[in-house]
Structures are given as structure tokens and as C-alpha cells.
Structure 1
Amino acid sequence: MPKLYSILALTLLGVPQAQAALGDHFSVDGFTAFANNYVARGVSGSSNQPVVQGCIDLTHDSGAYVGLWGSSGDNGGELDWWGGYRFSLAPGYSLELQLTRFYYPGGTNHQTEGSVSLDTPWVTISARHDWDFGHNYFELNKTLALAPAWQLSLHGGYRNYGEKKYQPDYWAYGKSYADAAAKLIYAVNDKQSLFIGYAWHQDNNPDHATEGKLLFGLVASF
């Protein structure tokens, strides 16, 4: 395992001790996941190969939070870290502001993204802007409870590429794409779940066909 992911693994193993040391005003959550593919916004980040992932979040009672997420995959994998603030607007409504850094150990296309999300009783609406390459991404997300142990997660997104070209997406200069995904989640218990789903994306370049991907995996939280 590369050194970067060894650090992430050690961090995740320390979650119970961190929770005890921080006190009542902080909560620490994390998970590990094993999946057949790493798909973000409709595009595979692992050349359609299986991945292992991990995440840890530290949240304060005030609504401020920081987090760390890592995945194996292309360009030596990916390591993201973020900070943000979530506050209530009214019963059932909240607003979230977040700044995220996307880092690729074996690549050069690192990105910094700012986002604002509005959570409502019906859907979560998000708008994101990448300051390094000028891309914008807009999305809608909704999770439906189907039965005591079953959930359906729905996603739709639209991305327009900014003014700056970069490899390997040089062909996407001045273009856009849409993506969608549906995921069925089964809770084995309060700490483990299985999922199966389908992700799709289509850009407006006629040289690139519609892509669809079957997704499945296991998530263990702690």
C-alpha cells in the first residue's frame, strides 16, 4: 500500500480514540468501502477497476467540520480534504458552504473547489466551482427510504468546462456533460451496508459515446 494510503488507514484506525479525546462538542465519523469501480460525477477515476476507499469527518456542534477522504485508482489514487460550515435556515432547511482540495499523488491536475448546498425536505441542490480550471458543476441529490433496511439514492448533475484546458480532458475545452446515477442500498446492520447501482454520463462532443457503468460494493462505518 502506498505511503499516502497507509497514513489514511492509520488515521481511520484512530477514530474511536479521537472521539474519546475530543469531548462532547465534537463527533467523529468514518467509513471504509470496497467497490468494483470509483465513479465520480459519471466518470471512472479507476479505469473501471476495483477500489478501496476510506473517509473520516470531524464535526463540531456549531456546524463547522473538516474531513479527509482517500481512494485507490488512476494517477496514484486520490486524496481529498475539506472544511466547511453547515447551518439551519428553518425547520427542514439548511445551507452548507464547503472548500475542498482534490489531490492526485501521481498526477498534476490538482483542483480546489468551492461549493454551496441547500438541503430541503425534497432534494439537496448544490453548485460547485473549480478555481484551478474554471469548471462549474451543478447537482441534485435525494435519498428515499423504501423499507426499514432499504434506501434508494438518486443523483443528477451537469458540468460545463471552464476556460482552461488540461490533460487528460483537453478535448472538453468549452464543452459540457450531464450525468445521473441511481443506487440501491441495503443496511446489513447499523455499521455495514451493501449497494448496487448504475451511473451514466453523456457529453456534448459527438466523438464520445454515452457511458454507463454498473456499480456495487460494501461500506463499513464506525
Structure 2
Amino acid sequence: MTKFKRSILAAAVLATGGTGALVATSTATAEFSGNITIASDYELRGFSETGGDAAIQGGFDYGHSSGFYVGTWASNLAGDGDPDPSYELDLYAGFADELANGLGYDVGYVYYFYPDADLDVGFGEIYGELSYDMFYGGVKVVVNEESDQELFESGSAYYYAGLDVPFADVYSAGFMVGHQTFDGDADSYEHYHASLSRHTESMGTFSMNLAYADVSGEDVRAYVAWSLDF
């Protein structure tokens, strides 16, 4: 989704990093960059944020050679603003780099805004991720919230680990498992995500995705997506 998250469209060396995801190597050399995604669903941690409808998403980033980056990302949502939000706007900043031994890291803060919602649902997370070769893992913890919703309470955390495997030059396969905990009374759950991506030089990345949240009544979500970095 955003720079700090490992993307559902991530290539073997992810440039968008994380729930996607981000690979630290892109930030060290980048200056200004942008991205756009068109997907048949906006899936986040096993749940649809668009009610199963299509999503148009995109963002802009600035990365300094020191490893510092800052950016913004947005997507449409299922609501119409009255009272549920019709779009999400994320602002984030962090540091990412790769050490000489190949170990990458990405740490930062993101705030999720829902500007047109009649409900108070904004919240912020700190995040940290380590990556090595095709493997990665990290945690995201809610540290502040302006929400009356139990799920957004400070202390709620999402832990994840996965791998992205490139093959045949232009393909990559990925698998991730996550565990969501809540500081309130809501039950924790597991989240699983698998993807198959085809990367092209001029037309971006195409992917097929499957996601599942281990919550009563939730089914496997299947969706396709296309993304382009510029």
C-alpha cells in the first residue's frame, strides 16, 4: 500500500516495501518518485477496504541518500463520507537502508487520515522491518489515535513475516503470514497472503493475489492488480 508497507505487488527487491513493503535499497538512491496502482479490491490485512470493489491508489515519495524518506499515499474506500470515509490519505516518514552484509532495515511512522468521515477513525503507527535476501519480517504498533473505534486503540499491533521469490527473470512469488492483536476486547487473528507477479520494463507490474483472515465468516479474497512506479 504505502512505502513503509510490503506491497501486494512487490517485486523480489521491493521498491514499495511492506503490507505491502519496502525494500531499503530503493530509498538510498532515490530522490522524488511516484507510484500508481489499479486493483480489483483494496485488501488490508485480510479485509476489503472497498467492499470488494475496485480501487485506484497512488502516492509520492522523497528519499535522501542518508536513508531518510517521506511520502504520502491515498486510496478510495467503500464509504461515501456520510458517515463512513470515501478515501484514505496516509502520511509517513522513516529511515531505510541496507548494510554491507545485505541486511536491510526500515523504521518509521505513518498516520492514517480519513478526511471526509463523520466518524473519528484516524490513527498512527510506528513500524519496523528487517529484510535479508528474499526474507522479511516486521511489526506495526498503534501509538496514537483519534478514534472511538476499539480496533484503533493504542497498543494494537500487527506482526508479519514472509518471503518473495523471483524466478524466470520477470516473475516473483510471495507469501506472508501476519498476526493482528488488539489492545481492547476484540479477538486477535491470523492473516495470510499469497501473490504471483509479472514484472515488465515499461508497463509496470501485474499481480494475482489471494488473502485470508482467520476470522469467523471471512472468506478467501482473490483480486488482481497493476502498479507502475515513476
- TM-score, length basis structure 2: 0.75
CA distance in 2, matches of 1:192, 1:96: 24
CA distance in 1, matches of 2:227, 2:134: 25
Bigger relative CO (Cα 8 Å, ≥ 6 apart): 2
Q: What does the per-residue CA deviation read over 1:49-88, in whole Å, with 9 as the maximum and x for residues that have no partner?
A: 1110002121100000011110011321111010001234
User: Would you say the 8 A contact 1:115–1:127 is kept in 2?
Assistant: yes
Change (3 A) 1:176 1:94: same
Taking the TM superposition and a 5 Å limit, the aligned residue runs for 1:1-222 are 27-74=31-78, 75-107=85-117, 108-131=120-143, 132=145, 133=153, 134-163=155-184, 173-203=185-215, 208-222=216-230
Note the C-alpha offset of 1:153: 2.2
CA distance in 2, matches of 1:118, 1:157: 15
Query: What is the aligned partner in structure 2 of residue 13 from structure 1?
Result: none
Note the C-alpha offset of 1:191: 4.4
CA distance in 2, matches of 1:104, 1:155: 27
Change (3 A) 1:33 1:88: closer
Q: What does the per-residue CA deviation read over 1:5-30, in whole Å, with 9 as the maximum and x for residues that have no partner?
A: xxxxxxxxxxxxxxxxxxxx752221
- Alignment partner of 2:220: what SS? strand
Matched AA of 1:144: V
As a proportion of its length, which structure holds more helix? 1
Matched AA of 1:27: E
Aligned residues: 186
CA distance in 1, matches of 2:223, 2:30: 33
User: Would you say the 8 A contact 1:68–1:80 is kept in 2?
Assistant: yes
- Alignment partner of 1:211: what SS? coil
CA distance in 1, matches of 2:176, 2:190: 11
* Residue identity (%): 21
Q: What does the per-residue CA deviation read over 1:145-169, in whole Å, with 9 as the maximum and x for residues that have no partner?
A: 0211111122211001113xxxxxx
Q: What does the per-residue CA deviation read over 1:93-150, in whole Å, with 9 as the maximum and x for residues that have no partner?
A: 0222110001112332111000111112241111111123121100113211021111
